[in-house]
Amino acid sequence: MLKKEKKLKEKEIIYNTETLSPWKIVFRRLRKNKLAMIGLGILIFMFLFSFIGPFLTPFGAETMNFAMKKAPPNSTYLLGTDLLGRDILTRLMYAGRVSLLVGIVAVVIEIIIGGTLGAIAGYYGGIVDAIIMRIVDIFLCVPFLPILIILGAIMSDRNVSPEIRIMYLMFIIGLLSWPSIARLVRGQILSLREQEFMQAAEALGLKDSRKIFKHLIPNVIPQIIVSATLSIGGAIMIESALSYLGMGVTPPQASWGNMIQSVNNFIDLMKRPWLWIPPGICIFLTVMSINLLGDGLRDALDPKLKK
C-alpha cells in the first residue's frame, strides 16, 4: 500500500511539473479568488445578454406600441415599456452592445497609443523619453470630462448621426485616456531593458522595432491586461455619464446612459422606477464585475501586490 501511495504521489508531482505553464498558474490563482470568478461570471452573462439576447426577443429596439406607453412590467413586457411604448428589456440588450463596445474599443485604442509611445519612451530614453513624457503631462493636465462635453456639444450642433457619433465617442475616449498606460509601460520597459535577455538581443544585432515589439512589450502584457480591464469599466462609466447628459450616444440609438436620461421629470422618477432602475443595475453590475475581475487578475499575475 505504501509503495502504491508513493507511486501515485510521484505521478502527481510529474504531472504538475509538466503541465503548469505560467498562464495556467495564473488561471489557477484566479480560480481561487471567488470574487474575481463572480465578476467573470457576471461579465459573461452581460455579454450573452447584450449580444445573444436580441435574437431571442420578439421585439426590435425601435418596435413601438403607443397603446402601452410607460406600461409597468407585465407578462408581455417583462420590464415594462418606455415613453414611446418600446420594450425596455429589448432596449437594454441593444444598449448593452453599445456600452460594452464603447468601453472595449476605447481601451483598445488607449492600449495601442499608450503602449507604443510608452515602450518607445522607455527603450530610447533621453530626449525621446523627455518629449513623450511632456506630451503625457500635457494630456494629464487637460480636464477630461469638460473636453468630452464640449466635443459632444459640437457633434450635436453638427447633427452627427448616432452611428457615426458612437465611433467618434470611442476614438475620443481612447485618445484622451492613453497617458496612464504610457506611464505604466514606460516604467516597466525601463527596468526590462537592463536585463540579460535584452543584452542577448543587443549581441544578436536585432532591429530596435523587433526588440521593442517582440521582446519588451510581451513582457509587459500582464500589467497591460490588468490596467485595460479596469479601464473598460471607467470607459463605460464615462459613456454612460455623457449619454445621461445628452452629449454621448443619442436616440434613437440606445445606451444605458441615455435610457436613464429619458427619465427627466420627478413623476417618472418616483412612480415609474422600471424606466431607470434596469439600466442603472446593468451599469452597476458591469462596472462592478469588471473591477472585481481586474483586482483578481492583478493578484493572480503578481501575488506580491496582495497584502
Pairwise CA distance, residues 93 & 98, whole Å: 9
Exposure string over 227-262, b if 16+ CB within 10 A, otherwise e: bbbbbbbbbbbbbbbbbbbbbbbbeebbbbbbbbbb
Q: Which amino acid is residue 137, in one-letter code?
A: D
Beta bridge partner(s), residue 87: 81
In angstroms, the CA 102 to CA 166 distance is: 7
> What does 112-144 look like in DSSP terms, one character per residue?
HHHHHHHHHHHHH-HHHHHHHHHHHHHHHHS-H
241 — phi, psi (to 5°)? -65, -45
**Rounded alpha-carbon distances, angstroms, from residue 135 to 189, 224, 306:** 18, 20, 33
Give domain 32-62+76-305's CATH architecture: Orthogonal Bundle (1.10)
Q: What is the pLDDT of residue 63?
A: 82
End-to-end CA distance of the chain: 42
Q: Does this model's pTM top 0.75?
A: yes
Question: What is the pLDDT at residue 15?
Answer: 46
Evaluate whether 33 touches 299 at the Cβ level (below 8 Å).
Answer: yes
pLDDT value of residue 2? 47
Contact 276, 259 (CB under 8 A): yes
Please tell me what DSSP assigns to residue 69: T
d(CA 27, CA 296): 10
* Backbone phi and psi for residue 85, each to the nearest 5 degrees, phi listed first: 80, 20
- Helix (H) or strand (E) run with residue 285 in it: helix 277-301
Buried b (16+ CB within 10 A) or exposed e, 37-51: eebbebbeebeebbe
pLDDT tens, position by position, 136-163: 888 888 887 788 888 888 887 787 787 7
Where are the domains positioned within the chain?
A: 32-62+76-305
Torsion of CA 28, 34, 38, 44, to 10 degrees: 0
Residue numbers of the chain with a pLDDT score lower than 70? 1-23, 201, 302-307
